[in-house]
Each structure stands twice: as C-alpha cells, then as structure tokens.
Structure 1
C-alpha cells in the first residue's frame, strides 16, 4: 500500500496521508513519500495543495513502533526530528503556493503541528487537536512551541503543551488556532472548493504573502516595512497584477495565470 496518495486535479493537487490502520502516524517510508509529493508540487502547473488524511483520523504523529533502539541504550529522537520533521515543516512553509489542510478526526502530536504549518486549516466538527507530547515526557516538536504561542497566546500554549488535553475543532477555531470548522460530511468538499479557488488566484502574490508573514514573526517594524516595499515591487511586476488592475477597471472577473513573468 502506498503511504501517500496523490490526486492531480490539474491546477492543484490532493496529497493524502495513507496509513489509516495506524491513524496515519509517521514512519520513515511515509516521511520520504510525503517529502517527494511536496517536492513534486513545486511544478508551476500546480498552484495549490490540499493535505489530508485517509480513514478516521488526520495524523497521530510519530509511529512509536517505528523507533528502533538498541537494547540498553537511549534513543536519539533528535535524529528523527532533524532528518524528517524539521525538513517537512520547512518544506510546507517554504512551498511557493498555498497549502490547505483538511483535518478529519484526530490530529495529535507532530500531526497537529504539521497541520498548523499549513496556510489554511479546515477541521471537521468532530476533529480533535492534541499536543500529546507531555503524556510520554516529550516536548512539542515540528514547530509546536513556535506556532502555539503565536497563534493562541502564551497562556493557552502552555496549557495545551503541559496538560496534553485535547481541544475540539470548535475551540481551535474560536481560539484562532485554525481557519474554520466544517460539518463532517462537508469537510472534503469545502476543503476542495477552497483549494480549487486558491488555484485560480495570483499565485506569485500569494507566495509573496507567505514570505512576508513568515518574516514578520522575527522582524522589526522598520525591517518589515522595507520587506513589504521590496515584495510589493516584485508583485507589481507580475502579469497577474496587470490582469487584476485591468479586470478591476473593466468591471470583469480577472483571469490569473499564476506566472511570474
């Protein structure tokens, strides 16, 4: 069975975690397959990506059965993080197009934080988000300690990280952890519609928005103002800017190509 399924919809792709018998928990094979799928999504013809999970849960994080340790020695979990999880988060954040995540069921541990690495997260009403690391004596990884305080504030971040209690999709949306909630039977159709819409938008401009927001987390206001100037200069030179202005003046719907030149 393929650990990752790829459904090419032309201008966008659905990438599905496909280990439903293990709640799509990560083993090495799934890591490598997902990295390859996201690398393939750099194709300029692909203008948006939808990430979701097969079966009854999005992702339960690391498959603990896949961590092998020699008898009498302690594991080096940092190797797994450095080899797989950190590159994955960087790959999602660095992809020059929108990444939508549809969370069905449970998103736990690294699975929750990989969802948070995506640009827009839609969760089924029955979904749960769990920073489960503290239950086994670990620290939130895959960007968890960076995403949580920025999205929901320090107090809530500490509560989720230290208590490892699940929160509902509704709570996640109310706190600003995710974009929105969908009824279970509408999750995929709404996520697909959102991704398809993004694939018709000015892709270069969206990529520059991602770049600006990523820099803002560690930037001063003066530095960010300068970056906005520079990125706006780039955006203003794209065919989609010219098309957007022409469509606005002509009172018609724009037809964006997503091309840089």
Structure 2
C-alpha cells in the first residue's frame, strides 16, 4: 500500500496501489500520515512523494467510499478528517518536499502534489481538477494551494471546467517545477533531492517556515520573524562551515545541524 525507501538523507514515500491508480483509501491515508510523522521524528532532510505504476494518484478511492455508504458502514465524510490532516501535515513538513509525478494527478491526488514544495513531472503526465465532474467542490486544499501557483483566474478556469492539462501546459502555467522525459525524470528528481538533502538543513527549514507563513504577517512582523530565525541559524555548525568555506574559497560541506 505504501512503500518507504531511504537513500541517505532522502526518504521516498511511494503510493503502491497501482491497480487502483494509487487512489487514496482510508488505509493509505493513515499509512501516509504515520510515515510523515516517522520522517519528522527521523529528521529526514528531503522527502520525495511518488506513485508506483502508471499514475501518481487518482484522488479519493470512490469505490471504497461508495461501498461504505451502501453497506451502512460509514460515509465519505469519514475519509475527510484523515485526508485534511494529511494535507496539513504534508504542507507543514519541516524539510523540503518533492512530488515525483510519474503519471496522472487527479482531484485529491493533485491537491496532495500541490502541498509539496516542488513538483517534477513526466512529460506524459496530466493534471485534472476532477471534483466538478461529479458535481462536487474541491475539498483537499486545492482552492488555497493552486491559486498561489498559477493565479486566481487560471485556477478558477481549471477547476470550473475540469479540463485536463498535459505536462507542457502545466509547466508553462507554473503548476509544476520541472518536466522530464520518462528516462530522465527519476535521475533529475533525485539529483535535486540529494542537493537539498546535502544543504544547510536548519537554514532551509527556517526559510521554508518564513516563506510559507509570510502572507499572514506585515513586513515589519516578518522582519522580526527573520531576525529570530537568523539567530537560530547562527548557532548551527552549518553556519560556521558556510562562513569558513566562503573565507577559504571552497564548497561548504554541510552536516545538517
């Protein structure tokens, strides 16, 4: 259901329900949340989220949803608290996160990708805000996440129509970070992931926190927050190493603390 792979300081969480196009069942939602908590506890320095098979994620497991309702064993609303918690926890993950989009990202699957810091996609990938196609409204944070990437007007058109965007258009619009052919997607993604994981972890995390919360503050408040973050970074081994490397005109060797 969920595959976890470690490569040094990079951890990959791979949705592994290929026959269901990696649809988000209750079990998978809970497994993802547990894996995110474990990654925080293990001080993972970069997290990659991907899907096995031909799709990244098809969104909610509507078969499970409808079967629960038909059997009287619950409703789709049992799924919502878990899915909302997952989106919050993914967006708040302290280290850099990358969605490796090997195939289609649809509905809640697209929202999950949008909650990551970066999105590297195959040139064959496609993206669909599928909610309106079933007479429903987005419910996994996409109405907050997507306009911040592509603008409110483009986000409304994309959501209202339910039209599919292929990877080239998604790249042009700013929905994805990079696009690669099938043979180069994974190498490019993991080269970037290792670059981030080998960086100054505390400084990256403070920068991510500052940027993600900046819209809630005035400039003056943000300057105060930046000063506090700077004090935290100044006490790290990586800051000392960065200064020494600059003086000695060499590349720094960061250790993540």
TM bin, normalised by shorter chain, reads over 0.9
- How far did 1:95 drift? 1.5
Report SS of the residue matched to 2:98. Answer: strand
Report SS of the residue matched to 2:48. Answer: strand
What corresponds to 1:81 in structure 2?
80
- How far did 1:36 drift? 1.5
Q: Is contact 2:171-2:179 (8 Å) kept?
A: yes
TM-score, normalised with respect to structure 1: 0.92
What corresponds to 2:129 in structure 1?
131
What corresponds to 2:147 in structure 1?
149
Report SS of the residue matched to 1:252. Answer: coil
After TM superposition, list the pairs within 5 Å mapping 1:1-261 onto structure 2: 3-67=1-65, 68-70=68-70, 77-82=76-81, 84-259=82-257
Report SS of the residue matched to 2:49. Answer: strand
Report SS of the residue matched to 1:62. Answer: coil
- How far did 1:109 drift? 0.3
Runs of 4+ in 1 over 6 A off after TM superposition: none
Q: Is contact 1:25-1:63 (8 Å) kept?
A: yes
Report SS of the residue matched to 1:61. Answer: coil
CA distance in 1, matches of 2:138, 2:203: 32
- How far did 1:118 drift? 0.5
**Aligned Cα root-mean-square deviation (Å):** 1.6
CA distance in 1, matches of 2:43, 2:162: 41
- How far did 1:43 drift? 3.7
Report SS of the residue matched to 2:216. Answer: coil
Select between 3-12 and 213-222 the one with higher mean Cα deviation: 213-222
TM-score, normalised with respect to structure 2: 0.94
Unmatched runs of 5 consecutive residues or more in structure 1: none
Q: Is contact 2:69-2:76 (8 Å) kept?
A: no
Q: Is contact 2:125-2:167 (8 Å) kept?
A: yes
Listed one character per residue, the Cα deviations across residues 27-63 of structure 1 (whole Å, up to 9, x for unaligned) are 0111111112111111445211111000001000001
Unmatched runs of 5 consecutive residues or more in structure 2: none
Q: Is contact 1:10-1:46 (8 Å) kept?
A: no
- How far did 1:79 drift? 3.8
Select between 22-31 and 34-43 the one with higher mean Cα deviation: 34-43
Report SS of the residue matched to 1:52. Answer: strand
Select between 155-164 and 223-232 the one with higher mean Cα deviation: 223-232
- How far did 1:218 drift? 2.5
- How far did 1:225 drift? 2.2
CA distance in 2, matches of 1:210, 1:63: 31
